[in-house]
């Protein structure tokens, strides 16, 4: 039996402690391999369907953050859209609207041009002149999101069969060729995204979805056409997702939520894989 002196025993204990700390650090690093910070901006006013989506999205992303090892914060203070605040986050999400103040817009543009990540939902791309949200930000609507002004929509919010256009992209490579979406009000746009070489369409409405919408207005029921619903601009770290409008009980004036934007397993997979790609992608 070896009888170590006190000094030797202390050295052995220190070496063992250092070894255990290194192991713990390695395990922690492995668990946090997707560690990045996300900030979601929202307005959540006026339209009950958009408000419903914002509340639902904040809960869903918070749950996903714990599961996929990223942090998720949200704010309705658009004045936080400045360089100092954004420096703490790798991904910005617009849940329903876009910034209106000139300094907020410039801060966001600089953030994106310097390699920041962005995900936008549904109304975040909306622009219509004249309206409360006119097309008065050319860089954002015609260059960044690139869809231009809003052209039309389906009604009521209904599920659609979506077709994956690009299976090589990290956001869509784990999806089947087609899948059923959550119910949504679908938008069409004035710009044909297929003509923009910087835009890569990831998913579109499959022909099997037509007729899409239930009316009662005939122009809100689509019978044909090509409608991209998820795309990325290769000049930036960004993904736009047209989904984000829950069905609501407007008719009975209860504003009760009748559908969930996170009820589709494959749609959820698309959203979280897109977010992980944005958060972990190098500049």
**Residue 96 maps to which CATH number?**
3.40.50.880
Condensed to tens digits (0 to 9), the pLDDT of residues 137-150 reads 999 999 999 999 99
pLDDT given for residue 29 in this prediction: 44
Condensed to tens digits (0 to 9), the pLDDT of residues 228-238 reads 999 999 999 99
Query: Is residue 237 one of the residues assigned to a domain?
Result: yes
Query: Is residue 23 one of the residues assigned to a domain?
Result: no
Query: Is residue 142 one of the residues assigned to a domain?
Result: yes
pLDDT given for residue 11 in this prediction: 57
Give the percent of the chain with pLDDT over 70: 87
pLDDT given for residue 89 in this prediction: 98
Count structural domains, the chain.
Answer: 1
Instruction: Give all strands (DSSP E) within 102-211, no chain letters.
Output: 117-121, 150-153, 161-164, 178-180, 187-189, 199-205
pTM over 0.85: yes
Residue 8 has pLDDT above 60, yes or no: no
pLDDT given for residue 46 in this prediction: 86
d(CA 210, CA 43): 32
pLDDT given for residue 25 in this prediction: 45
Q: What is the CA radius of gyration of the chain?
A: 23
Query: Is residue 160 one of the residues assigned to a domain?
Result: yes
Query: Is residue 16 one of the residues assigned to a domain?
Result: no
The domain of 58 spans 36-280
Q: Are residues 106 and 69 in contact, defined by beta-carbon separation less than 8 angstroms?
A: no
- What end-to-end distance do the CA atoms of the chain give, in Å? 59
d(CA 59, CA 53): 10
Query: Is residue 7 one of the residues assigned to a domain?
Result: no
Query: Is residue 18 one of the residues assigned to a domain?
Result: no
The region of weakest confidence among 19-33, 177-191, 260-274 is 19-33
Query: Is residue 124 one of the residues assigned to a domain?
Result: yes
């Amino acid at each position: 039996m070896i009888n170590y002196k006190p000094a030797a025993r202390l050295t052995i204990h220190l070496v063992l402690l250092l070894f255990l700390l290194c192991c713990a650090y390695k395990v922690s690093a492995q668990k946090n391999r997707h560690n990045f910070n996300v900030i979601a901006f929202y307005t959540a006013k006026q339209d009950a369907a958009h408000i419903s989506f914002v509340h639902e999205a904040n809960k869903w992303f918070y749950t996903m953050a714990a599961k996929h090892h990223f942090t998720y914060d949200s704010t309705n203070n658009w004045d936080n859209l400045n360089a100092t605040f954004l420096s703490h986050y790798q991904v910005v999400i617009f849940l329903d609207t876009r910034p209106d103040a000139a300094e907020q817009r410039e801060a966001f543009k600089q953030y994106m041009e310097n390699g920041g990540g962005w995900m936008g939902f549904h109304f975040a791309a909306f622009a219509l002149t004249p309206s409360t949200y006119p097309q008065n930000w050319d860089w954002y609507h015609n260059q960044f999101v690139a869809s231009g002004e809003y052209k039309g929509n389906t009604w009521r919010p209904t599920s659609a069969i979506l077709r994956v256009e690009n299976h090589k992209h990290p956001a869509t490579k784990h999806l089947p060729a087609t899948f059923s979406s959550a119910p949504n009000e679908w938008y069409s746009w004035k710009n044909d995204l297929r003509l923009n070489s910087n835009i890569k369409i990831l998913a579109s409405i499959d022909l099997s979805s037509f007729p899409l919408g239930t009316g009662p207005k005939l122009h809100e029921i689509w019978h044909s056409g090509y409608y991209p619903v998820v795309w990325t601009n290769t000049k930036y770290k960004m993904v736009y997702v047209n989904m984000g409008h829950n069905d609501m009980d407007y008719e009975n004036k209860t504003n009760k939520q009748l559908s969930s934007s996170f009820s589709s397993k494959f749609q959820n997979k698309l959203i979280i894989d897109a977010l992980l790609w944005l958060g972990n992608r190098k500049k």
